[in-house]
Amino acid sequence: MNREDKKKETYNRIMDAARKLFAEHGYEATTVEQITKQANVAKGTFFNYFGSKEDILCDMQSFWAVGEIKKLYGKTGPFVPKLMALLLDIVSKLDFSRPLARTMFQSAFGSAKSLAFQQTMFRELIEQITPIMAAGQANGEFTKRIPPEQLAYLAVQTFFGVLSFWSMEMGDDSLTEQLVMAFELFFAGIDE
């Protein structure tokens, strides 16, 4: 196995271990030591890949979401139900709690390095969603008045706006309910 493959395999082991432990014990109760033990790596190795436990959370979002978005490539419409299902799947797989979401935002904006990572992640998400928006425009599902890149940008902005408000305990509805309401309005607004 070459060096790059080994680095990727180690990264994936750490991510898989963290995902399992977060699901089993919750984010707050999971320690870096538990993650390194589960992944069978040294603590120093962990910190070669991640600056903190919060960094894993940020990577999980982009890593998983981009992969799921790519599964929609080449599919035919209608895209609204497929995108809604994807949103709900993201929320259920990441198992957000309000404190966990706040931790994610604190980590995301806590340093210049984290902010740069978030900006890269958002750009990648927008880049991955853009072809789906273009396909939705081509089949007459989404308006052509707005460029597909802008539609993708607005979708990402809507998701993180809802997540942000929900994490601050704005409203009694669950995250799922708030996302469904916001995206029903979003998709109605870009309907052709």
| Statement to judge: residues 5 and 91 lie in one domain | no
Which tokens go with 102?
A: 């706040």
Q: Is the pLDDT of residue 30 over 80?
A: yes
User: Among 33, 50, 67, which residue terminates a domain?
Assistant: 50
Residue 27 class from Cβ within 10 Å (0-12 exposed, 13-18 middle, 19+ buried)? Answer: buried
Q: Give the CATH number, domain containing residue 108.
A: 1.10.357.10
DSSP structure class, residue 191 = B
Which tokens go with 74?
A: 């080449």
Cα separations (Å) of 176 from 65, 122, 124, 164?
16, 21, 24, 13
Mean pLDDT confidence for 25-30: 78
Q: Is the pLDDT of residue 99 over 90?
A: no
Q: Is the pLDDT of residue 5 over 70?
A: yes
Q: Give the CATH number, domain containing residue 3.
A: 1.10.10.60
pLDDT at 58: 67
| pLDDT tens track for 104-161 | 777 677 778 777 877 888 898 899 999 999 999 999 999 999 999 999 999 999 998 9
- Provide CB contacts within 8 A for 125, sequence distance 6+: 62, 65, 66, 69, 152, 156
Q: Please tell me the total number of residues recorded for the chain in this structure.
A: 192
| pLDDT tens track for 153-185 | 999 999 989 988 998 888 788 899 999 999 999
Q: Is the pLDDT of residue 64 over 90?
A: no
| Statement to judge: residues 84 and 113 lie in one domain | yes
Displacement of CA 144 from its chain's centroid (Å): 26
Please count the structural domains in the chain. Answer: 2
Look up the domain containing 34 and give its range: 1-50
| Statement to judge: residues 74 and 138 lie in one domain | yes
pLDDT at 62: 64
